[in-house]
Structure formats: C-alpha cells, structure tokens
Structure 1
Amino acid sequence: MRLVPTILCGGAGSRLWPVSRDLHPKPFIRLADGQSLLHKAFLRGAKLPGVQEVLTVTNRELFFKTQDEFKEVNEANLPLSYLLEPFGRGTAAAIAAAALSVEKSHGGDALLLVLPADHLIEDQAAFAAAVAQATRLASAGRLVTFGIRPSAPDTGYGYIEANGSDVLRFVEKPSLETARSYVESGHFHWNSGMFCFSAASILREMEQHAGEVLSAVRACITASRAATGSNVTQLELDADTFDKVPNTSIDYAVMEKAQGVAVVPCDIGWSDIGSWNAIGDLAIADTQGNRIEGKAVLYDVSNCYFRGAGRVIGAVGVANLVVIDTPDALLIADKSRSQDVRHVYAQLKAEGNDAHKIHNTVHRPWGTYTILEEGPGFKVKRIEVKPGASLSLQMHHKRSEHWVVVSGTASVVNGEQQLTINANESTYIPALCKHRLANDTDQELVIIEVQSGGYLGEDDIVRFSDTYGRR
C-alpha cells in the first residue's frame, strides 16, 4: 500500500484572533505542549505505515513558514512535496490538485489521506486503527470519510447519516433540536473533514460530478512551474489559471453526490479547535476553574482562560472570561460568546487594519522582523537573519534605512560597496540605493533597523534578485 498523507494548511482562523492572523493562521498556533497544530498533523500522518511522502497544499505566502515547521518534526527525513496556491479556492480544488500530483508521482492506486492541518487528534493509536480500516475500503475503490461519534448535540458541525459503513447522506449544520434527535438516533456522526481514497477513485468521481473543477485544475497545473530540491518538491500554481477554478468544497462538489461513499466511525479524541474555549480546555484548571498559559495574577477570579505573550496579566473579581494578550492586540470575551470573535476579525479586515493580517513579528524565508516602534516618518525593527540566509537585493523609493548590528556578523551590499559589519557597527542605506543584508556565518544575525521617510509601507520594495524566488 502506498499512502500519501495530504495536509490542507490554510484559512484565516478568524475565531482564534488575535493569535491567528491571515499570515499566521490557525495551524501555526502553538499549544501548551509547545507543538503547533501543523506539527501534530504532520506527525499523525508521518507515523502511519506505508507512507511514501507527505504532501501539503498551502498558500504560497505560507510556504517557507510551513517548511520551517516541518523541519522541527521531520526526524525520519520523509520526502516532502508542496502545492502552493496563490489564493484559496476551496477543498475541491486543493484535493483535485493533490490527486493529480499523487497519480503522477505514485500511480492511480496510491491512497491519499486528507488531513486538515488545524484539527487536534489526541488518540494516535485509535486514529491509526481508523486509518487502517479506511485504507481497506479505499483500496476497494470507495471514497471514505471519517465520522466522529458525537458526544453531545452540537450545531457547529455538519453530520453524516450512516448505515454501518455506508453513508446515506450528508447534512449541513442543524438546529439544536435536530442535532439532539441525530445524536439520540445513533445513526449520525460529526463530519470531521478527513478523507481517504485512491487518486484514481477521487479523480473518476470528480470527472463525473465536478468536471469543471477538475478540468480547470488540470489546466492550472499545466501552466504552473515546478521546482525540485533536496528531498523537497514544490509546484507553485499559476494565479491566472487558478483564478478560473470554481470555489467549492469537496463535500458539496463530490462526496454528497457520489455513490457508495463509506464512513469510518471513530472515537479518536478529535476536535476542530474552533474557539478559544476549545484551546483553553486543553490547559489544566486551578481550583477555581481558571486556566492559564503565560503569567497571570488573579484575585477572586473563576472559570476564566488567560493566555499571555510575555506581559503579566492581572485580573480582579471577574468570571467566565477569555483574555488573550499578544504584543499588538488584546482580546477580552465572555466565554459563552467566544465563537463571535470572528466579528472582530471581520471588522478589522473591513477597515484595512493590519491587525487582521500580520503580527508585530513577521516571518520571512530568511528569518523574522519585529516592529518595535513606529510613528509619523519613522519605524524601528528588530531583524533576525538565519545562518546562511540573505534578504533580496533590493531598493526603496520612499525610505532610507540605518542598520546597527546587535549580534553576529552582517555581509552587506550598500550601493557599490561590499561591507562586513560586526556587532556595535552600523551602515546607512539612502533611498534609491541597491542593497542586500546577508548572514554568511553559522550564527544568527540580529540587527536593529531604523527606517525614515514619507512612506514606510512594506510594498515599497523593488527586488532585483531573490534567493527564494519572490517577485
């Protein structure tokens, strides 16, 4: 059996703002054990028998961030492949692209195990047993979904009605009364969004039920560019042709219409981590029902969840709150309204406020930068450059920059000059000057950058060459 775990990594995670942002979505959130949801998705797939490679479908803006996550946990050095979307087009498009890729690399009888990157599964042994059952059904040509045995009526999930392993129908999120009747009947399962099928089977069903999606994805792949490196393959999907792919889910496009769909009912400690309440429940409660990640000092406080990012949180005389503190945003919510956090995210996005999109610390393929302070005409950043990494050769129209090396050694192109700058040394980069910052050592490089000028936006960059293929 050739099994290819296929991780779908994206989304905004708007219900988990302010930790989740457009460029730091839910899969990258670290839990109390230090692992991200993406770490856990990779490991649960990689530990299974028969795995040939791990395939990930993600936004191209998240590619290097995803690579860094996998480097932390890919101890077996499994081959990795990536399909990089310019923007989201729903799970039908992502799975069509993945199936075409797997068919080409491993043949039509290879099995895809589709795993959303933002779910939590706490029982690996039960998960492996469910996958073993699913692969037997998928090897026989069935399209297989995983149904979670419901612990209580819940209106936040879709449901699957089944007779044994045979799916009778998929149901959208029901009312509470309907959900209660589903649970009492014993014939319904929560729809987990995980699937298993052979590349040939899903492509055959897509040809029949979602031909427009499949043909558009095929055209996109033909127009796209691939790159192969050491143990890593990536295909950056062409934006112009991908824009023509219908935006729809695999459930609606195929699973609800196909005949002979199978379900594997399972009890695997599954959660879609859809709110701060769900994350808070993973932390250990104190005697007053409070759950704390970070540092909090409490007086007469009960049934609250506090998550901090360095600063001390103080609370007095409150109950049933969620308090999430990040360096640039603070969330305070009633625990019973934690699902409504998405409305704050939506308003920030509508206003064009960057707090919906990025954190003060922004990840780049070469390292990170953190905005320390900014005001009219100036911005101060802390820049960390990984060993052996370099920024692009670039120029700015509107701003000048002053670089001070804090630690490490910087290799700098400043106009016609090639400079080596050590700790406590600096250089000045005027506007319209070509420049590059690089770290040619095996130690991390840290600099402070002071920008000044009439416009300091990140889009004031003209790249002349870039190690990472960015335009």
Structure 2
Amino acid sequence: MTCPLLPVILCGGSGTRLFPLSRESYPKQFLALAGEQTMLQQTAMRLHGFEGDVAVAFSPLLVCNEDHRFLAANQLLEIGIRHADLILEPVARNTAPALALAALHARAGNEDPVMLVMPADHVIRDMDAFHHAVRLGYGLASEGGIVTFGVVPQHPETGYGYIQYRREQANQAFPVEGFTEKPSLALAKQYLAQGNYLWNSGIFMMRPSIWLKALVAGRPDILSCCEGAMQAARCDMDFIRPSAAAFESCPSDSIDYAVMEKLPAHPEWGIPISVVPLQAGWSDVGSWDALWSVLDRDNEGNAVVGDAVQHHGCSGSLFLSSSRLVAGIGLKDVVVVETPDAVLIADKRCTQEVKAVVAQLNQKGNKLASQHRKVHRPWGWYDLIDSGERFQVKRIVVNPGASLSLQMHKYRAEHWVVVKGIAEVTHGDRCFQLQEDESTYIPLGQTHRLSNPGTQPLEIIEIQSGSYLGEDDIVRLDDVYGRVPPVSKAA
C-alpha cells in the first residue's frame, strides 16, 4: 500500500524584500504577483491534476504566523479548500521548527504520509515538469530518504544556495554531497562550469517520522521544544495553536542548517539524502528583479503591472502601480513600484538592498515598514484615507455575513456613513439597520458593533474623532473570531 502524499506549506515570511508592496502584516505569499491567484493559492493548488498511483491529500497542512491566520484561511476558502489544518506559530522560529510542528501533527494517529514541503512564496510555471519531479522523488521519500529539489541553474546566481551532487549514470535522482550557502560570483561561475551543482529550491520530500529522526540526531533541542508545544496545543475554530510558552523557548534555525547540511557528513544517521533536478520555471521571487524575470515583458524587456505606462526609450524595467498612473521616460534597468503610501525607485541591480531600507524604517519606528495603509481583518479590510490632529477617516469594507467585534472605545467617537450595502448596527441596547446614504453616531464609551447581513460587501466611511486614535483603543466584549482578551490591539 502506497503512502499518501501530504502537501505541507510553510507560510511564514516577513515580507521585507518586496517592500513596499509586501509588508510584515501582508507579506508576498498573500499577494497575486505572478497571475490572478496569490502565491499561497498557487502553492496550495500545485498538486491539482497530479497523476499516478499516489493518493494526494485534498487539503494541505499549513504552518503560518498567528497574525496571518485569517488571511491564510480566507485565501484557501476562495479556491475551495475548506478544511485545511492551519498550525499557528505564536512567534517566528524559522523553517526547521515550523516543519517539526507539521511533522508532529502529521504523525498523530500513527500515520506517516510522505510530506511534500513547499514554501508558500515561490513561482513554478511548468506543472507537468514539477509533477514529474515529485513522482521521481516520491519513491525515495516513501522508502525512508529525504529528497530535495535542485533547480538547474541558468546563470551564476549569488542570491541562492547551491546543492552539490554526485553524478551517477542512468539516474534521475542523485546522492547529495554537500550544500553551499550563497557564493561569491567567482564561485558561482565555477559551480556552473563543474556541472554538478543545482540551486537549492527549498522544496523537500520526506516522511514525518524521518524528519523527526533527523532532528533527534541533529537538533534534539528543537524537537524537544516542538514536542512540548504540540502536546499542549489547543484547537481554536479551524486553527491548531501550539503552546506559546513552549514554542517561544525553541531555538531558531532553518531546515538547511539544522539537518540538510549535516546529512551528507553523517551516514551513520541512516537517512539517505538525494536531489531531483528541477526544470519547471521555478523562482523564489526573492527580489524585484526576480519578479521582473517571471513576468511577461514587451519587446524592449519592460514588465508593466497595473495602471502604469512606459514611454520613449524605456527598456529592461519593471513598472508596478497599485493606485495611480505611473509613467516612465528614458529609463533603463530600473524598478518603479507604487503603492498608496510609498514609492520605490531602484536600479534593478540593487534590489537586494531593499531589506536595508526596511531595516532603516524599523529603526526609526516608521510603521510603513510593517503595515499598509490598507489593513486586512478577518471580517474584511479598512483603508486609512486621511488623518490629522484629533481625527482620521477610514473606508471600511465588511464581507457578506461578517461582523466586527462587540466593542467600545475610551478615547474616540465615531461617525458611520453607509456608502454601499446594508449595515446592521448594535448601538448600546438597540439594534437597527442602515441603508445606503444613511448614517449613525457612536459616542465615546458606547458599546457598538457593525455587521453585514447582506449578500454583497458592505462599504462605509468612518470618521473618528478624539484625543487618541490608536488601534489599541479597543475593548472587545464579544467576538466571533475568538479575539476577546480584556484589551486587544487591533480592530
């Protein structure tokens, strides 16, 4: 009997390298960068249509940041995945602990499927080639090995790690001899000349029992913390919450450092490691120039996204617009990214330096490093349109059937004007509906709730006024999303 194939999606990531479009609160895996679907959605559907004798789990297993739980769940719902298991990391601890949580959960009930471990923020264009590679790796993984997928290099890239393999004739999977972190340009050129090096894609296959065995040998401290976190885990709606206290004590380490780089030197662990060459249009979209390389381009090599135009001699450039017209004249090999609250202009050769810009913003306490003007919530989203001394204006959209928490504010009052749809308003002891162009006033300290009883999105304009307008001025009294600490930090 064959082992089922379980997609495991690692959905962490801070979103710094694609600033300003990607932010900590809305990183790149939740963006539609290379198609109509978001990168998470594309990853979740990556095994759809997989042919062979292997049974593929209908729903993937996700490990994601607790703050992104509703984003991840809603995006899966949009593509028809309703019962995925979502493990919520209370803090970021890199990929090795994240995979440990997934393996421990997958082993529950004495099951031991083959896990296909995929980052949520990669692009793969050739699904047939990807499925072929997965079929090649499946047999080795089901027999107790660890399989990694190495991308056939197209040029001497210094932004990726490399996998060295031992050539064996008539094989389509090769023994791994070693891993190398991001090399110098001279070393990358040498690797290509040797012909037995592949880019490290960060995609792996193994049984949960094998990953746990590898951690026993290589990082027992990580395994111990994750076991404690999962033993004390609790279920909340569709989410699995490991113990925060246990997981916070876990060391931070990557899959590569914790295990993969050690395996070739430790045959006594009894875990063979192989690499399957992958030629499937892969990219980790780790920078703006990487995104440019996977987008459709015109005859001059320009990629244009959104309401953007390039004119008069532009070449080799990326123009991305989110909210207004962007025009370029006489530009070569540049990146222009426009969002409602920030604009990036960069030489395409320097896009790896975006992380330094984000670090500088964080150092100065600038919230733009982590938050968009448009903020997503489990019930919908809001856009901060304008603000000033003692006031701010928001455009709020509530999804059909959704509602905000029952709450009150200590320092601000609110005016609501319905622009589109029907609003159901709880106002103290009263409950009433507002139609388009109708309004209500919520005085300071008044208990209130906004709901959408309709089948179309509800859109309102909210005007806040008061001595303090921060998002932590919310006292939740009841909440359908389980967010009811005595005082919480977000609407």
Bucket of the pairwise TM-score, normalised by the shorter protein: over 0.9
Name the SS of the counterpart of 2:286 in structure 1: coil
CA contact (8 A) 1:108 1:200 kept: no
Matches of 1:300 and 1:452 in 2, distance apart?
49
- The alpha-carbon distance between structure 1 residues 329 and 400, as it changes in their structure 2 partners (threshold 3 A), is same
Matches of 2:194 and 2:345 in 1, distance apart?
39
Q: Match for residue 291 of structure 2?
A: 279
Structure 1 residue 78: deviation in Å?
A: 6.7
CA contact (8 A) 2:138 2:205 kept: yes
1:2-401 alignment runs, 5 A limit: 2-48=4-50, 49-52=54-57, 53-74=59-80, 77=81, 79-105=83-109, 107-163=110-166, 164=168, 165-227=174-236, 233-258=238-263, 259=267, 260-294=272-306, 295-401=308-414
Deviations 1:138-195 (A, max 9, x none): 1110011111111121111111111141111111111111111111111111111111
Matches of 1:190 and 1:320 in 2, distance apart?
25
Matches of 1:184 and 1:50 in 2, distance apart?
40
- The alpha-carbon distance between structure 1 residues 254 and 32, as it changes in their structure 2 partners (threshold 3 A), is closer
- The alpha-carbon distance between structure 1 residues 422 and 54, as it changes in their structure 2 partners (threshold 3 A), is same
Which amino acid in structure 1 is aligned with residue 278 of structure 2? C
Deviations 1:215-266 (A, max 9, x none): 10111112221135xxxx4202232221101111111111222332111122
Which amino acid in structure 2 is aligned with residue 84 of structure 1? L
Structure 1 residue 115: deviation in Å?
A: 0.2
TM-score (norm 2): 0.91
Matches of 1:99 and 1:67 in 2, distance apart?
20
Matches of 1:434 and 1:322 in 2, distance apart?
48
Deviations 1:186-219 (A, max 9, x none): 1111111111001111111111211111110111
The unaligned stretches of length 5 or more in structure 1 are: none
CA contact (8 A) 2:402 2:451 kept: yes
Matches of 1:323 and 1:379 in 2, distance apart?
29
Matches of 2:146 and 2:315 in 1, distance apart?
47
Matches of 1:424 and 1:128 in 2, distance apart?
53
Q: What is the count of residue pairs matched by the alignment?
A: 464
Matches of 1:379 and 1:302 in 2, distance apart?
41
Which amino acid in structure 2 is aligned with residue 58 of structure 1? C
1:449-468 alignment runs, 5 A limit: 449-468=462-481
- The alpha-carbon distance between structure 1 residues 288 and 205, as it changes in their structure 2 partners (threshold 3 A), is closer
Which amino acid in structure 2 is aligned with residue 38 of structure 1? L
Name the SS of the counterpart of 1:45 in structure 2: coil
Q: Match for residue 489 of structure 2?
A: none
CA contact (8 A) 1:297 1:312 kept: no
Matches of 1:35 and 1:263 in 2, distance apart?
29
CA contact (8 A) 1:109 1:139 kept: no
Structure 1 residue 46: deviation in Å?
A: 4.1
CA contact (8 A) 2:34 2:123 kept: no
Name the SS of the counterpart of 2:45 in structure 1: helix
Once superposed, what is the RMSD of the aligned Cα atoms? Answer: 1.6
Matches of 2:86 and 2:326 in 1, distance apart?
40
Structure 1 residue 97: deviation in Å?
A: 0.3
Matches of 2:184 and 2:295 in 1, distance apart?
30
Matches of 2:82 and 2:386 in 1, distance apart?
41
Structure 1 residue 322: deviation in Å?
A: 0.7
Deviations 1:394-450 (A, max 9, x none): 111111111111121111111222222221111111121111111122222111100
**Greater shift in the superposed pair: 57-66 or 293-302:** 293-302
Matches of 1:103 and 1:302 in 2, distance apart?
52
Deviations 1:353-400 (A, max 9, x none): 111111111111001111111111111001111111110011111111
CA contact (8 A) 2:228 2:243 kept: no
Matches of 2:293 and 2:216 in 1, distance apart?
43
Structure 1 residue 47: deviation in Å?
A: 3.9
**Greater shift in the superposed pair: 242-251 or 296-305:** 296-305
Structure 1 residue 287: deviation in Å?
A: 3.5
Which amino acid in structure 1 is aligned with residue 92 of structure 2? G
Name the SS of the counterpart of 2:294 in structure 1: coil
Name the SS of the counterpart of 1:112 in structure 2: strand
CA contact (8 A) 1:147 1:160 kept: yes
**Greater shift in the superposed pair: 151-160 or 89-98:** 151-160
Matches of 2:49 and 2:472 in 1, distance apart?
41
**Greater shift in the superposed pair: 288-297 or 249-258:** 288-297
Q: Match for residue 441 of structure 1?
A: 454
CA contact (8 A) 1:108 1:198 kept: no
Matches of 1:440 and 1:316 in 2, distance apart?
49
TM-score (norm 1): 0.95
Matches of 2:330 and 2:277 in 1, distance apart?
44
Matches of 1:83 and 1:24 in 2, distance apart?
18
Which amino acid in structure 2 is aligned with residue 57 of structure 1? V
Matches of 2:301 and 2:153 in 1, distance apart?
25
CA contact (8 A) 1:46 1:54 kept: no
**Greater shift in the superposed pair: 139-148 or 237-246:** 237-246
**Greater shift in the superposed pair: 288-297 or 439-448:** 288-297
Which amino acid in structure 1 is aligned with residue 56 of structure 2? V
Deviations 1:3-29 (A, max 9, x none): 110001121231210000001101122
Name the SS of the counterpart of 1:150 in structure 2: coil
Structure 1 runs of 4+ off > 6 angstroms?
Answer: none
Matches of 1:399 and 1:463 in 2, distance apart?
15
